[in-house]
């Protein structure tokens, strides 16, 4: 019988290794033919060169990824792990107190071995912390489930455990793309997974918290982290403590707005040596727009109720935080234009605003460019269109309508660019760049664009993507050599991300229809501003 032990001890958690290792050598599967330790760490330790120990280089991912992406770590060495009969994972602060042998094996190769959570043994399923967000892949509805298991001790046959690993990794990645983090990370996904897969459940004595008094024999003790300084000090990465040393930014609106909010937050977090946390609760209630940053290679964590400040739904807690708490101190955008004081903030702050100027993130422009590369390659029609765009001189022309037309308030504030603006903008670019250009038209109302916009160039109307794949339109727009943008942050970003050295960008001189709304810091100085008065009332009447 060959058994592999999976153990994660990045950063300061390495201090738990010695006692865990000595206790496992004495008590875990004493009759096994072979026991091998796979230690995921960024630290050095005495036994790392032993023939039955493999050190797996693993960066300290910080909160919450050290737990949320634990199964991602295991998947990196799936081929090696598949050579063993059984695989078991143990939290870093576990220590064996008695022999744990054949009774901890599954009954067959299809089973996992899981352990009742010691804090939930006496709770009915509806009182346990199952994931209750219906948008999460870890979701368990009220009335479902039988018991709650802990994420810190589990295992089973290599076949069953690797199937769990692949499934949880896929579910976590899908959640993150949608802007969701299960409240209890991999433990939430484990509880969801076992509802549909064979497993055997062991009593809570196999995950026995130090100093607790359970009515079970103490087989595996979970040491108290407070003895070694507490969770936050153990999580520390250098001088950074997480999640206390966080810049939190409220994310709301469409994709273009999200990109500005993220960029300003990332720039401030970089200055403070903190991590960036995203507050996505806006999308739990507002269905007009979708969270879209998950399609990019962004560097941020998604906040949960455990790390975010109180929401307005809990008015008393919200007011107490808003006016008295020093944690996540709120910083509101004072105006539409650039506010230099943002990048001079200190401590743990919560940003609420649009932050629509490259001046907020100009010092990390290269990093923003990298962060806004898409995680997945273009496929199907998007891959074909990408090749077509790159094959000849190209201009991306974006027409923003949608709620700018259908919503009277939005129309009065934003307005829309008239057809003549687009004709003149294309002419401006053609006169300044050689070649026979194709104009690729992107719009949330392509029929209107086709009926109203005329240019002297061949025009291609791109209409195969929708709100679920807006990021693909952004990729295609960015690939064009030149841009004609509307008064839309979505097309602003397509132009800004365009790396073509000789690019020409035309933007409307007046961004808002409302004359009181002014942002002189929005349009970069090397873009051409074309005089245009955004249309308002007549469009609402015609809609």
Q: Is residue 498 within 8 Å of 520, Cβ to Cβ?
A: no
Cα distance between residue 449 and residue 462, in whole Å: 11
Cα distance between residue 468 and residue 407, in whole Å: 21
Adjacent-strand bridge partners of 89:
6, 154
Cα distance between residue 531 and residue 543, in whole Å: 25
Find the Cα–Cα–Cα–Cα dihedral 318, 319, 322, 325, rounded to 10°. Answer: -90
Find the Cα–Cα–Cα–Cα dihedral 117, 120, 121, 126, rounded to 10°. Answer: -120
Of the residues 187, 221, 358, 472, only one is catalytic, namely 187
Strand order of the sheet with strand 275-279? 301-302, 275-279, 246-250, 349-352, 329-332
Q: Is residue 81 within 8 Å of 162, Cβ to Cβ?
A: yes
Report long-range pairs for 365-370 (Cβ below 8 Å, ≥24 apart): 367/266, 367/270, 368/263, 368/266, 369/497, 369/499, 370/297
Q: Is residue 147 within 8 Å of 165, Cβ to Cβ?
A: no
- DSSP letter (8 states) at residue 510: -
Burial classification of residue 434, based on how many CB atoms lie within 10 Å of its CB (0-12 exposed, 13-18 middle, 19 or more buried): exposed
Burial classification of residue 316, based on how many CB atoms lie within 10 Å of its CB (0-12 exposed, 13-18 middle, 19 or more buried): exposed
Q: Report residue 351: phi and psi, to 5°.
A: -95, 130
Cα distance between residue 373 and residue 371, in whole Å: 6
SS3 124: coil
Contacts of 369 (CB under 8 A, 6+ apart): 497, 499
Distances (CA, A) of 388 to 192, 253, 450: 44, 31, 20
Burial classification of residue 387, based on how many CB atoms lie within 10 Å of its CB (0-12 exposed, 13-18 middle, 19 or more buried): exposed
204 closest CA partner among 188, 215, 195, 193: 215
**451 included as an active-site residue:** no
Strands (E), 329-485: 329-332, 349-352, 394-399, 438-443, 458-462, 482-484
Cα distance between residue 423 and residue 159, in whole Å: 62
Burial classification of residue 160, based on how many CB atoms lie within 10 Å of its CB (0-12 exposed, 13-18 middle, 19 or more buried): buried
CA–CA–CA angle 507, 510, 513 (5° rounding): 125
CA contacts within 13 A on the Cβ side of 53: 19
- DSSP letter (8 states) at residue 361: T
**Active-site residue numbers?**
187
């Amino acid at each position: 019988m060959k058994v592999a032990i999976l153990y994660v001890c990045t950063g300061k958690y390495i201090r738990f290794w010695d006692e865990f290792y000595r206790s496992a050598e004495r008590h875990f599967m004493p009759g096994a033919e072979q026991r091998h330790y796979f230690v995921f760490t960024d630290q050095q330790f005495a036994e790392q060169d032993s023939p039955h120990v493999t050190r797996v280089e693993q960066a300290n991912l910080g909160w919450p990824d050290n737990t949320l992406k634990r199964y991602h770590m295991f998947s990196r060495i799936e081929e090696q792990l598949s050579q063993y009969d059984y695989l078991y994972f143990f939290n870093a602060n576990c220590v064996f107190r008695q022999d744990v042998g054949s009774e901890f094996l599954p009954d067959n190769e299809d089973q996992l071995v899981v352990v009742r959570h010691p804090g939930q043994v006496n709770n009915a399923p509806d009182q346990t912390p199952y994931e209750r967000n219906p948008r999460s892949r870890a979701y368990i509805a009220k009335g479902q489930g039988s018991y709650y298991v802990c994420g810190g001790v589990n295992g089973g046959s290599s076949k069953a455990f690797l199937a769990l690993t692949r499934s949880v990794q896929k579910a976590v990645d899908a959640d993150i793309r949608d802007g969701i983090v299960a409240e209890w990370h991999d433990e939430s996904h484990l509880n969801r997974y076992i509802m549909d897969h064979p497993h055997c459940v062991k009593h809570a004595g196999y995950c026995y918290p130090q100093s607790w008094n359970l009515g079970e024999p103490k087989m595996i003790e979970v040491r108290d982290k407070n003895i070694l300084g507490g969770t936050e000090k153990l999580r520390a990465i250098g001088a950074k403590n997480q999640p206390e040393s966080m810049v939190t930014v409220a994310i709301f609106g469409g994709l273009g707005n999200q990109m500005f909010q993220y960029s300003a937050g990332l720039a401030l977090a970089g200055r403070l040596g903190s991590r960036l946390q995203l507050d996505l609760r806006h999308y739990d209630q507002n269905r007009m727009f979708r969270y879209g940053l998950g399609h990019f290679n962004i560097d941020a964590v998604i906040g949960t109720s455990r790390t975010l400040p109180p929401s307005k739904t809990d008015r008393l807690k919200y007011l107490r935080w808003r006016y008295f708490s020093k944690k996540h101190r709120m910083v509101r955008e004072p105006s539409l234009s650039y506010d230099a004081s943002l990048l001079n903030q200190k401590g743990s702050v919560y940003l609420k605003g649009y932050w629509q100027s490259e001046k907020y993130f100009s010092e990390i422009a290269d990093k923003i460019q990298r962060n806004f590369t898409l995680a997945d390659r273009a496929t199907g029609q998007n891959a074909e269109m990408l090749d077509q765009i790159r094959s000849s001189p190209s201009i991306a022309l974006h027409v923003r309508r949608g709620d700018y037309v259908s919503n009277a308030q939005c129309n009065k504030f934003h307005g829309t660019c008239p057809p003549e603006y687009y004709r003149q903008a294309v002419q401006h670019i053609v006169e300044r760049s050689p070649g026979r250009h194709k104009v690729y038209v992107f719009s949330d109302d392509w029929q209107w664009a086709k009926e109203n916009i005329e240019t002297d160039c061949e025009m291609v109307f791109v209409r195969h993507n929708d709100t679920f794949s807006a990021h693909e339109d952004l990729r295609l727009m960015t690939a064009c050599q030149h841009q004609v943008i509307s008064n839309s942050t979505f097309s602003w970003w397509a132009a800004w991300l365009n790396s073509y050295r000789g690019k020409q960008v035309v933007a409307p001189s007046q961004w808002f229809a409302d004359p009181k709304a002014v942002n002189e810091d929005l349009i970069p100085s090397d873009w051409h501003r074309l005089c245009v008065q955004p249309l308002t009332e007549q469009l609402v009447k015609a809609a």
